[in-house]
Homo-oligomer: A and B are copies of this chain.
């Protein structure tokens, strides 16, 4: 199968279930909401070595937020609800409560699973806290140096999906990077998903386990490493390919990830020098979620 003259390999991305909380951060302006969102979702690329996977889902103006101010939806992922609750408390408490002009709303008010993160954060007020209602939401009012910080009583979480992905093969690093940047930009417009790696891009796609250094959970997937393609047996890198970027997508459900993968691949294949699109899987052993590239179009 080809798209804009670029081969789309007949393979699938393998993804797995994970827990995810979604939080709406509002602020005096979109810029300050974004500052808080970036701090709160940093150090959040992969649960292999980060305390959570996290990213910015979308930007909304005041017509779509309970307090009428500009806002940013962020998503935070870990494998269990217990660790997710801890990450919510720390990331919201340390990176949003501390940020100028922010307020925090529940991004999944209808989810079955609800954490009382707002109720716990109110203890910071040390007895001076109170309650109010904003747009029908139960809010804690925490007096602080800048004024009052408002946080919704509960923050919801769901079982979501991590690890949707595709690989961009290109003739040069700068062409591959241009394709990856455009893919991430197009994915940004899809509701319900995040691309948790730096700038949304993975430079270092890995395999599970190791051939040599068995103490590692994940190591470079040498079959996809262009600089050693001539010496690695079974290299998957064609002669005309010199760079591969992976785009990893987490999201609320399979439909959102399907939509995001399609948007990303379509953006990537429009960039000159892109030679092939493929995807990463573990032979179907890791995750119950399979996203066939050929089914995207």
Contact = CB atoms under 8 A, between A and B. Distances in A.
A11 interface: no
Contact of A222 (B93, B97, B128): B128
A46 B97 CA distance: 12
A62 B267 contact: yes
Given A174-B28, A178-B28, A101 B36 contact: no
A125 B185 CA distance: 30
A243 B273 CA distance: 14
Contacts of A46: 94, 98
Nearest to A93: B49
Contacts of A96: 198
Contacts of A126: 210-213, 216, 219-220, 222
A271 interface: yes
Interface stretch (A156-164, A200-208, A281-289): A200-208
A270 B198 contact: no
A227 B39 contact: no
A61 interface: yes
A221 to B, nearest CB: 7
A223 to B, nearest CB: 10
A222 B143 contact: yes
Size bin of chain A's contact surface: 35 or more
A95 interface: yes
Contact of A270 (B32, B62, B174): B62
Interface stretch (A12-20, A77-85, A110-118, A145-153): A145-153
A176 B270 contact: no
Residue in A29, A144, A205, A224 with the greatest tally of chain B CB atoms within 10 Å: A144
A271 B28 contact: yes
A139 interface: no
A38 interface: yes
Residue in A44, A50, A215 with the greatest tally of chain B CB atoms within 10 Å: A50
B143 A227 contact: yes
Nearest to A127: B212
A257 interface: no
Residue in A99, A146, A180, A271 with the greatest tally of chain B CB atoms within 10 Å: A146
22 contacts: A28-B173, A28-B271, A29-B181, A29-B185, A39-B43, A43-B44, A67-B270, A95-B198, A123-B213, A125-B220, A126-B222, A127-B211, A127-B212, A143-B220, A143-B227, A144-B220, A145-B245, A146-B173, A147-B243, A149-B204, A172-B273, A174-B178
Closest 6 CB pairs of A and B: A42-B42, A174-B174, A68-B270, A99-B198, A127-B212, A126-B219
